[in-house]
A and B are shown apart, each in its own frame.
Chain A
Amino acid sequence: MDSARSVVLDAGDIGRAIRRIAHEVVERNKGAADLILLGIPTRGVFLARRIAAAIELIEGDAVAVGAIDVTLYRDDLRLRPARALEPTAIPTGGIDDKVVVLIDDVLFSGRTVRSALDALNDIGRPRAVQLAALVDRGHRELPIRADYVGKNLPTALAEKVRVRLLEFDDFDEVTIEGGAS
């Protein structure tokens, strides 16, 4: 199983991808006003904080950051044992009439994002929702597309993409593992 393991992004690449995404977000939204970055736990939350810090460097103003746990909205709950919940933290003032940027580490089937959209619907009514992912590995099962992508990564279904982040795993790295049959 541990046949192939290649590093796709190292710490420097991840940092550059985050800075580029930050620039793209600001450019597309003409600034950072009304912007809320919501990370999807676990690693999406840390990515959201990093992107927010990068935007603050560009624009000078702090951006609202939060977390949105989608566990209770998943469509595959009954396929696995009940999962522990992660914190949901919506910035004070809510999401009504704001531009919400959802942030996840890997975009794959699109089902997590679908759950996040449902969760947002119960929390408020944003003016627009955009999606950022550090890695887009393809194989979508739903009509969902990212607005900001760190790296497009063509993969085979059997391969595993692993994102490791300093805040959670002690180092920054994106790898592809296994899959070679």
Chain B
Amino acid sequence: MRHLLSAGDLNVDSACLILDTAAQLASVTDRTVKKFPTLRGRTVVNLFFEDSTRTRISFEIAAKRLSADVINFAAKGSSVSKGESLKDTALTLEAMGADAVVIRHGSSGAPHRLATAGWIQGSVVNAGDGTHEHPTQALLDAFTIRHHLRDGTGDLSGVRVAIVGDILHSRVARSNVLLLRTLGAHVTVVAPPTLMPYGVSQWPCAVSYDLDEVLPHVDAVMMLRVQSERMHAAYFPSVNEYSRRYGLNALRMGLLPPHAIVLHPGPMNRGMEISADVADGERAVMVEQVANGVSIRMAVLYLLLGGMTDDGKKEI
């Protein structure tokens, strides 16, 4: 594999290879020197056309822990705000010798365009494109679930996961459905009908509109942020009503089996999709998700850049 564009491109073996590699790399956190020399002399460009804190920093730390040089390119305050096209930006980066481009873009499919148009030679990693995919988030979620429910090894066969909230605008949901399915988990997406994407019945998952009915039968529940910035219409009557029907609060926590964990990709809207006491509760694993994100991104960068660079010969 040369690029990581979609969670759907991964099969069980390549997904487990990334998770296993991340598990080994996680040990670096306990060491005095938190760095490996593996990608010394390689350049990783973080090309972010959309705002992001945790994903960009996570990729930056991951690349630096592998000794790569990191260049952060934010669209705001760059030539992009002067009207430069994706192509010209890509050609500029190629001329500067980027070995990998980590891209976040508001348009679905931008990473795919970047990877296949022949503008750049390096690897492309999708760090979130529009409402399409966010594969490294799905990988770190799977890693976190596997750590808690499967002792950190193997696949996720038999694990039941509910993904709740703004499925329509969520790239995290799509990537998670694809990856969790590949790993053998059973996924149910839960949302009000207005926040279900068109064609969700074709997704490899179950669909429900009733959170209370789903909660007793899952091992992990993933709450999604309601993405107000992408909402240009009224998708639900009020925050209160959304929160009452689809928010995770202490009362609903009682419906979950005792071993179940709560995930959230962040940033959280406390009081909307998740109540503060649940977010701070001991079954919430948000802080672990962030830590695991660094290990997952190290694994992805290592597997994409660590081996042979000859075109077409490189394989995950």
What is A's interface to B at a CB cutoff of 8 Å? 69, 72-73, 77-88, 118, 121-124
- Report whether B307 and A77 are in contact in the complex, using a CB–CB cutoff of 8 Å: yes
Instruction: Write the nearest CB–CB distance from B121 to chain A, whole angstroms.
Output: 15
Question: Known: A77-B306, A77-B307. Contact between A118 and B24, CB under 8 A?
Answer: no
**Nearest CB on A from B225, distance (A):** 33
Let me know if B291 is at the binding interface, CB within 8 A.
no
Q: How far is the CA of A49 from the CA of B13 in the complex (A)?
A: 30
Question: B38 at interface (Cβ–Cβ under 8 A)?
Answer: yes
Q: B282-305 CB contact bits vs A (8 Å, 1 = yes)?
A: 000000000000000000001111
Closest 7 CB pairs of A and B: A82-B307, A122-B33, A85-B24, A72-B36, A82-B306, A81-B307, A72-B38
Q: How far is the CB of A130 from chain B (nearest CB, A)?
A: 22
B35 contacts chain A at the CB level, 8 A cutoff: yes
Q: Which of B32, B36, B303, B307 contacts A80 (CB 8 A)?
A: B307
When C-beta atoms are compared, the residue in chain B nearest to A125 turns out to be: B32
Contact status A124-B36, CB under 8 Å: no
Interface residue? B259 (CB, 8 A): no
Bound-state CA distance A69–B24 (Å) is 9
B149 interface residue (CB < 8 Å to A)? no
Q: How far is the CA of A78 from the CA of B308 in the complex (A)?
A: 4
**A-contact 0/1 string along B140-153, CB 8 Å cutoff:** 00000000000000
Please report whether the interface of chain A is mostly helix, strand, loop or mixed according to DSSP. loop
- Say yes or no: is B314 at the interface (Cβ < 8 Å to chain A): yes
A79 CB to nearest chain B CB (Å): 7
Q: Are A123 and B306 in contact (CB under 8 A)?
A: no
Cα(A85)–Cα(B21), bound, Å: 6
Identify which of A78, A82, A85, A122 contacts B25 (C-beta below 8 A): A85
Residues in chain B near residue A88, CB distance under 8 A: 24, 27
Bound state CA distance, A80 and B303, in angstroms? 11
The bracket for how many chain B residues form the interface is 20 to 34
Q: Which positions 87-140 of chain B face chain A at CB distance < 8 Å?
A: none
Task: Say if the beta carbon of B313 comes within 8 Å of chain A.
Answer: yes
Instruction: Return chain B residues, CB-CB under 8 Å to A124.
Output: 32
Counting chain B CB atoms within 10 Å of each CB, which of A78, A86, A124 scores highest?
A78
Are A122 and B313 in contact, with the CB atoms below 8 A? no
Contact B307 A78 (CB under 8 A): yes
Would you call B82 an interface residue if the criterion is a C-beta within 8 Å of the partner chain's C-beta atoms? no
Residues of B within 8 A of A72 (CB): 36-38, 66, 302, 306
B305: chain A residues at CB < 8 Å are 82
Residues of B within 8 A of A123 (CB): 31-33
| Shortest beta-carbon distance from B299 to chain A in Å | 9
A82-B303, A82-B316, A83-B307 given as contacts; is B21 within 8 A of A77 (CB)? no
Contact of B32 among A78, A118, A122 (CB under 8 A): A122
Specify which chain A residues have a CB less than 8 angstroms from the CB of B306 in the assembled complex: 72, 77, 82-83
Cα–Cα, bound, A72→B31 (Å): 15
How far in angstroms is the closest Cβ of chain A from B289?
Answer: 22
User: Could you give, for residues 15-46 of chain B, a 1 whenever the CB lies within 8 Å of some chain A CB and a 0 otherwise?
Assistant: 00100110011010001110111100000000
A122→B303 contact, CB < 8 A: no
Question: Does chain A have a CB within 8 A of B309?
Answer: yes
The residues of A that contact B303 with a CB separation of less than 8 Å are 82
For residue A127, give the distance in angstroms from its CB to the closest CB of chain B. 16
Q: Are A79 and B308 within 8 A (Cβ)?
A: yes
**Interface contact B302-A82, CB-CB below 8 Å:** yes
Q: List 11 A-B contacts (CB under 8 A).
A: A72-B306, A73-B36, A77-B38, A81-B313, A81-B316, A82-B307, A84-B20, A84-B21, A85-B20, A118-B37, A122-B33
